[in-house]
Chains A and B, each alone.
Chain A
Amino acid sequence: MNRLTTDQQRALGALLIALALHLFGTVMIEGYGSAFSLRAMLVLASLLALASVGQTLVIILGGIDMSIPFVIGFANVIAAQLYGDGMSFWLVCLIVLSLATLIGALNGTISGGLGIHPLIVTLGIGTIIQGAVLLWTAGFPSGSAPPAISDFVSIGGSAMGLPVPGIVPSLVVVAIAITLLLARTPYGRRVYAVGSNQRAAVLALISPLGMWTLTFAISAFFAAVTGILLLGFTGSAYAEVGQPYLFQTIAAVVIGGTALVGGRGSFLGTVAGALVLTELNTLLIGFGLKPSVVQAALGLVIILLVSLYARDPHVRTRI
């Protein structure tokens, strides 16, 4: 009970910061609060939140997934290539998502089964995947996304009578589903159990290896979904399209109050964290700062936010 309230407090804190940033932007910058800018931010935040689904689950489990940007790039390029070759889009999605899930499962099996830090495993596997993709396309990916996908993520799009494209309500559904998954299913309980104390989880007859494999597979699945959607968003395939997501997914998770040591956290927090990051980025660009200054300011604000409410406890409190 106590754990849940802390998570909720932190998620709420992040959400309030996002709202405060939005108000600040609306007052300071003309057009910041306009419908178009709001829609753009919602789409960007939804894409980031979608890419961070896996990172949230993996971090609650006590791991970290550095392969997300590589899997995003993999899905982006392969989907474009296969669709460009005239394959049915549903078949393309099936192939790409299955392959990505296998990659994720491999990440989880290696790090969980051999007890190797997932940072290195996912980085290594990610490097291999990216190299393979570049080799296959000879560095020049081609192809594009079907119009349906572009409409789904288009900033000007609308869905079900709402003034936002389909990805925004879909993300709400995903957020509810992941929250229920974590709170109401045996899988969710096991994720928290393994993340809090793996050895105790084994005594509770949970297989950490199975959990690691499954959770990393889910992570890669959502990364691949993001990669396919980004294809619709940017219009053309690009193997490096996922690179900004490497640290942004981690930052979104942490700003949302999920601890990197595992066993604690929520996906709603991550959604709030994605909103905070998107608001911040838009705000800093809106002030007309150079990209390099935006980067530096983003770094400072991440440190400031995290030091406000996502600090680790002192070692003396953990004895």
Chain B
Amino acid sequence: MSGTTTSNAKSGKRLGTGFLLYAGFAPLLFVILLVINIYLNPARFSPAAWGTLIGLAAPLIGAAIASTPAILGGRGGIDISVGPLMGFVNAVVVLVFIQMLGITSPFIIVPAALLTGLAGGVVNGFLAAVLRIQPIVATLGTYLVLLGVTLTILPSPSGTVPPWLTQLAGTWAILPLGGVLLAWWLICRLPYHGQLMAVGSDDRAAYTAGIPVTKVRFLSFAITGVFAGAAGLMLTALIGSADPAVGPTYTLIAISAVALGGVSLAGGRGGVIGAAIGAIDIFLLQSALTYLNVSTFILQISYGAILVIAIMLTAVQERLIGSGRAGASK
């Protein structure tokens, strides 16, 4: 019984549908919240408004996806600098490329945003995987540095963005998210994905099996960086300017989304689809409560409560599956 469950989960993951098995209650919550939202506010959720809606949710989804690879690598792997990195990318794109250099071509700005993200990820990867500073502290360091640098070059919101970038939060909002998901899908085709999951589950066993643990972890932070660059671009598209205050707010909410989406913070279990659904859940919850015009305090309480309840239910569910397995093996 347990063997079938596991192999189903594996083949399911290959087909891209496995998230139902590991994403816990996030998909169920997604359906419930979507129905509530459509009932409350049909106009906002009509197909004509999907572009704007996706654009609105994109930075949070992007931040959650970006947070995932570093967490999958295990042994406390986490990148709390994702939010500030998004803010830094936002500032660099608008201030340096658009305002100072006058570049508006997407063929320069998109790679520049991704490379800026990559640079941040490489630094984090070097600190956390090569120097082996505990990831939460290493990325706390880069969190403070990125926040400080962003505020120094951009003390207050300013700047504008070219029309094509604004459209990435409107009509073409699906493109950047689709690009990130496609990139992760391709990564899942590579042996690297299996190595990352193995390192995340048990780095000692993975090391004994000849997997280059340090390299795998380093790359996970680099991928997180690139995705954070993409999320920074989505943020830029949404706010249409440079704002030093917005980026950092995404860090903790993105990590909550990741956990809600069934990604184990201990590493080795979960994937970006789950993280994305977790993020959409939080977005839909905010959307419904905002529509109901409840105070932000109640919004905060419900968000915390749903987070805690959902992860508790997921843990109970895992327990039940786990005890079933233990029984079968006896």
> What residues of chain A have their CB less than 8 Å away from a CB belonging to chain B?
64, 110, 114-117, 119-121, 123-132, 134-135, 139, 247, 250-251, 254, 259-261, 290-300, 302-303, 306-307, 310-316, 318-319
Contacts and interface: CB of A to CB of B under 8 A. Distances in A.
A124 B147 contact: no
Among A110, A125, A295, A311, max chain B CB count under 10 A is at A295
Interface residues of B, number: 54
B138 A295 contact: no
17 contacts: A128-B308, A131-B301, A131-B303, A134-B297, A135-B301, A250-B136, A251-B140, A254-B134, A290-B152, A295-B147, A299-B141, A299-B144, A300-B141, A302-B137, A314-B214, A316-B207, A319-B207
Contacts of A121: 308, 311
Given A110-B312, A294-B148, A318-B204, A302 B140 contact: yes
A131 B303 CA distance: 10
Contact of A128 (B146, B203, B301): B301
Interface stretch (B99-107, B162-170, B234-242, B251-259): B251-259
Nearest to B199: A315
Nearest to A247: B140
Contacts of A128: 300-301, 304-305, 308
B300 A131 contact: yes
Given A121-B311, A124-B311, A128-B305, A293 B133 contact: no
Contacts of B149: 292, 296
B208 interface: yes
A261 B75 contact: yes
A121 B137 CA distance: 19
Contact of A119 (B75, B143, B255): B255
Nearest to A254: B137
B151 interface: yes
B83 to A, nearest CB: 13
A319 B78 CA distance: 23
Contact of B144 (A250, A298, A316): A298
A315 B132 CA distance: 10
B132 A117 contact: no
A46 B326 CA distance: 49
A120 B259 contact: yes
Nearest to A314: B132
Interface in B259-284: 259, 264-266
Contacts of B143: 247, 299
A135 B305 contact: no
Interface of B: 75-76, 78, 127, 131-134, 136-138, 140-152, 155, 203-204, 207-208, 213-214, 252, 255-256, 259, 264-266, 295, 297-301, 303-305, 307-308, 311-312, 315-316, 319
A290 B151 CA distance: 10
Contacts, number: 165
A283 B265 CA distance: 36
Nearest to B142: A299
A276 to B, nearest CB: 13
A114 B312 contact: yes
Contacts of A300: 141, 145
Nearest to A304: B141
A311 to B, nearest CB: 5
B152 A130 contact: no
Contact of B208 (A130, A139, A319): A319
Nearest to B259: A120
Given A312-B132, A315-B204, A135 B295 contact: yes
Contacts of B256: 120, 123-124
A318 to B, nearest CB: 6
A117 B133 contact: no
Given A127-B300, A299-B140, A116 B145 contact: no
A143 B300 CA distance: 24
A114 B315 contact: yes
A292 B75 CA distance: 31
A313 B146 CA distance: 27
Nearest to A136: B297
B147 A296 contact: yes
Given A119-B255, A132-B301, 7 more contacts: A117-B264, A121-B308, A131-B301, A247-B144, A296-B152, A313-B132, A315-B213
B133 A303 contact: yes
A250 B140 contact: yes
Contacts of A294: 148
B303 A64 contact: no
A195 to B, nearest CB: 13
Contact of B127 (A124, A293, A307): A307
A220 B133 CA distance: 27
A110 B134 contact: no
Nearest to B266: A117
B145 A299 contact: yes
A120 B207 CA distance: 28
Given A114-B319, A124-B311, A127-B307, A303 B141 contact: yes
Contacts of B312: 110, 114, 116
Contacts of B134: 254, 259-261, 306, 310, 312
Among B75, B141, B147, B208, max chain A CB count under 10 A is at B141
A115 B315 contact: yes
A184 to B, nearest CB: 28
